[in-house]
Structure 1
Amino acid sequence: MGVSKITVTMLGPSHSGKTTFMYGMYATLSAGIEGYFLNAKDPDKDLDLMDNWDLLCDEGQLPPPTADVPISYEFVFKHGVRSLVDIDWMDFRGGATVERAGAPESLSDVVKLRERLKESDSIYLVLDGRYVGEWIKDGAPATVTRGPMKVSHLSNHISRTVEERINAGLPAPSLVVLITKIDVLAEITGMPKKDAIFRAMDNLQNLVPIAFSEGVTTLICPVQLGDFGIGDHRKVDPAKLDVRYMHKPIIFSLLYDINCRIARDSRRLEELRARGQATEGELEQLRAGFWNGFFKRSQIAERIDGLGGIRAAVEEVSQELETARTRVDQLWKELNTLRIVEDGKIRENGKSR
């Protein structure tokens, strides 16, 4: 199975935790977890990411907000030393997701983000745990059309992207709903954190209906950087760092990409087998014919060569499918504690329910 490339784009308002998630994800996976690793292809980008992580670990300094110019990263995701997928990642400021592209004061990153969404294989929708906690405390109501999470506006971006990609004959992007800062849920809701997380996941269709739409495959993933509590943190206590689930979204994005490739290669295998059967039929007819001569022998030889090529291609694609399905089984095990929604149906432990 070859190494493919996926484009990941994050959507979320300012201060929702997009950049912090990326730093936590990179720090977790660059060190390695469960045999998986993430490396920046540019050594200087690796140093930038890890220098900022060291500031957090040593001094409690959170990563600075993304500037007006988005930052591009090229990552490679590995299992052991084997490359699984290349990742095109770009960090946009929060305002780029909610500003008007045609406004005089708009910046170029607004247009760039909208164009990038059309190329995105996976979209991460970031929900700030502070506001998710308040939503839970209010009874997890449906039809949240206003508020700091900007869910309706961001859902429109996702809906438009899904439609445009399907119309272009491309797979719909996978969707990750990230609930950040889950360490604050207990304090805000008055519930145990685990209960608050399950309350959010059980009612998320009220908050993010697009995640449960036909044609959309979604991972719901709560994450946290540490047990920092409520507050507008510029600095945190490094002793309270407690990174949770930061590596799971990338595993899901890869899982979805492989499943798309399995679907594509399965269709190709069917086509190859159909061609093989047709060629065998032509060969049988030629051999059974009454006429003879050089032209007939030439046609028979041509069909035999063609059939050999088809059989070799069938063997190659079959092996790639077997490898891909084995990888999918391994990836499912990494996600078996989380919730995946496919065409509105919840899948847990790889099965629908």
Structure 2
Amino acid sequence: MQELPTLTVSMIGAPGSGKSTYLHALYATMTRGVGNCNLHEVTNNADVQILESWHDLGQGTSLPQTSVKPISYRFVFSREMNPSALLDWTDFRGGALHDFVGVDGSLDTQTLLNKISLSQAIFVTLDGEHFRKPVTPERREPLARAMVTHRISSVITETLTRRTARGLAWPSITILITKADLIDWGGGPGRTLTGVVDEVRNLLPVAFQPRVCTAVCPVTVGPLQTLPDGNVRPDGVDPNDVHLPLMFTMTHYYRTAAHLDDQHLGKLAAERGSLKERLAALPQSSRRAVRDQRLRLEQELRAVEAEIGHNQRRYDQSTQAISALAARLGNLRVFEGGSPARWAAGRRA
């Protein structure tokens, strides 16, 4: 496989909030392809395993809970069948988020925290069950405890702080309202996306602070009605909008890459200008010292020109991907620094 840039993706949320189910639905959807974009697992056995579990869910068998041993995936993201990024995605158990670390703690908790600090993308799962009714001030704290949003906030804060200290770009944050089919989106006496987004902002203000890019997306795998035997109704599997968070994640990745390449191109252009000035200032002389200096400057100039060409091609590829992916964000609500992102303005409801 060609050398691809690797994006580390982390998912955090309370136990039972739908992390594993969402991941399976996303993979099953993206293997078929959406908008000329696809996913596939690098390892054939992992591909078979995740799709077998998805097929079992479609036949009524609930997904097993993630154990203390995390499950790691390496997905290749392709656009128009051109592989463009490798997604390092680990599925942790829900309880790992709020366990202790150290000698008396859980090994997967420390692994999760380390993984998040390296992530270019963080997915936060909030159970849509909690948003069936308005999140009033009286309900906010009990729901914050149920959805562990205090712990989620502290982990995000630590991640942003650590990445700032290391001079790394901040990750995108996607807040998934899972099980969104449980919410009455009828308007009037029902709920509106705008209202739910406002409630999410009150629960997780850290995700809407300056410089943070955050998307809020209701997703559903279908009305997975639980039967008396603990399994689900086979006809309840019906994924909807599960691909949108990935489209946002990749769009943000390309925007960050394009910004860094644009900055680097500016520095390279200045370096090229300096080299040309130094070449022009050399005297017309056949002396060996002058010839050697001219040769060295010409070599440096060719190297800079080659690097400019490489970075320009990469910048052009990123901007093309941004244009293609941003057009597919649909009704996704995207915020930059707490304000609606103009580059991702979708429909409003």
Normalising by structure 1, what TM-score? 0.90
- The CA deviation at 1:145 is 7.7
- What letter matches 1:129 in structure 2? G
CA distance in 1, matches of 2:141, 2:339: 20
- Alpha-carbon spacing, 1:315–1:36, altered in 2? closer, same or farther (3 Å): same
**Corresponding residue for residue 25 of structure 2:** 24
- The CA deviation at 1:234 is 3.5
CA distance in 2, matches of 1:200, 1:230: 25
**Corresponding residue for residue 153 of structure 2:** 155
- The CA deviation at 1:137 is 5.5
- Alpha-carbon spacing, 1:279–1:55, altered in 2? closer, same or farther (3 Å): same
Q: Assess if the C-alpha contact under 8 Å between 2:40 and 2:77 holds in 1.
A: yes
CA distance in 1, matches of 2:160, 2:229: 35
- The CA deviation at 1:143 is 6.6
Superposed, which structure 2 residues align to 1:275-290 within 5 Å? 275-287=271-283
**Corresponding residue for residue 89 of structure 1:** 89
CA distance in 2, matches of 1:219, 1:232: 36
The match for 2:221 among 220, 225, 236 is 225
In structure 1, stretches of 5+ residues that fail to align are none
Q: Assess if the C-alpha contact under 8 Å between 2:15 and 2:95 holds in 1.
A: yes
- What letter matches 1:124 in structure 2? F
**Corresponding residue for residue 256 of structure 2:** 260
Give the share of equivalent positions with the same residue, in percent.
27
**Corresponding residue for residue 114 of structure 2:** 115
**2:316 is the counterpart of 1:315:** no
- What letter matches 1:24 in structure 2? A
- The CA deviation at 1:66 is 0.4
CA distance in 2, matches of 1:257, 1:140: 38
- Alpha-carbon spacing, 1:139–1:233, altered in 2? closer, same or farther (3 Å): farther
Deviations 1:195-240 (A, max 9, x none): 4333202432112101101121111111001034699994222223
In structure 2, stretches of 5+ residues that fail to align are none
Superposed, which structure 2 residues align to 1:1-353 within 5 Å? 3-58=4-59, 60-102=60-102, 104=104, 106-134=105-133, 136=134, 138=136, 146-186=144-184, 191-192=189-190, 195-228=191-224, 234-287=230-283, 292-347=286-341, 350=344
- The CA deviation at 1:77 is 1.1
- SS of 2:146's partner is coil
- Alpha-carbon spacing, 1:187–1:267, altered in 2? closer, same or farther (3 Å): closer
CA distance in 1, matches of 2:201, 2:227: 28
- The CA deviation at 1:79 is 1.7
CA distance in 2, matches of 1:11, 1:73: 16
- The CA deviation at 1:121 is 1.3
CA distance in 1, matches of 2:27, 2:230: 20
- SS of 2:341's partner is strand
CA distance in 2, matches of 1:158, 1:232: 38
Q: Assess if the C-alpha contact under 8 Å between 1:143 and 1:206 holds in 2.
A: no
CA distance in 1, matches of 2:343, 2:229: 36
- The CA deviation at 1:297 is 2.2
Normalising by structure 2, what TM-score? 0.91
- SS of 2:238's partner is strand
CA distance in 2, matches of 1:95, 1:86: 27
